[in-house]
Structure 1
C-alpha cells in the first residue's frame, strides 16, 4: 500500500518554511530581550565600560602620585639632614641663631 502525499502529514497546514521562520522569529525576540531588557543589557554594559575607564584613569593618577612619593622618600633617605632642617623651618617655625622669621599671611 502506498500512502498518498496528503495523508502522510500530521499537520498539513504547517509547512517546513513556517517552522524555520517561527524559530527565527523566536530567536530574534530572545536576542532583543537580552540586548535591551536583561540584567546585563547594552546600556548597562556601556555604563560599566564608562566607569571602567574612569577607574583606570584614577588608577593611573594614583600610580603617578605613588611614583612621586617614592622619589621623595628616596631623596629623604639620601639627604636626611636637609629634610629635617626643612621640616623644622617650615612646620615648626624654628630658626638658626641670628635669623628672624617673618610670617606672611596666606
Structure 2
C-alpha cells in the first residue's frame, strides 16, 4: 500500500501473484494465449478484493512463471515509470524500464 495519495486522494493497494504457466489448471488457456495465466490470476484477485473500501485503488499484479505479466501489472509499471520519468531526474525511470522492457510494450 502506498503511504501517500496515488490518485484522487486514494492510496494504491496491490496484490501480487505468480502463477505456474504449465500447471494442469492453466495449460488450456496458456496454450492458446501468451500471458493467459497472469490475466486469469489478475481477474481472480479483482474478484477477491471487489469489496475493498473505495478509499483505495486496487491493482492486481499477475505474473506467469515463464515471464509474461498480466495487463494490470504492465499498466502499473508503465504508470510508475512515467511518474518516475517526470521527476526531473534523467535516470529516474530508466531502472524500472530496464527490468523487463518486453513487459511494458
TM-score (norm 1): 0.24
- Specify which structure has the bigger relative contact order, considering alpha-carbon pairs within 8 angstroms and separated by 6 or more residues: 2
TM-score (norm 2): 0.24
Structure with greater Cα Rg: 1
Structure with greater helix share of residues:
1
Structure with greater strand share of residues:
2
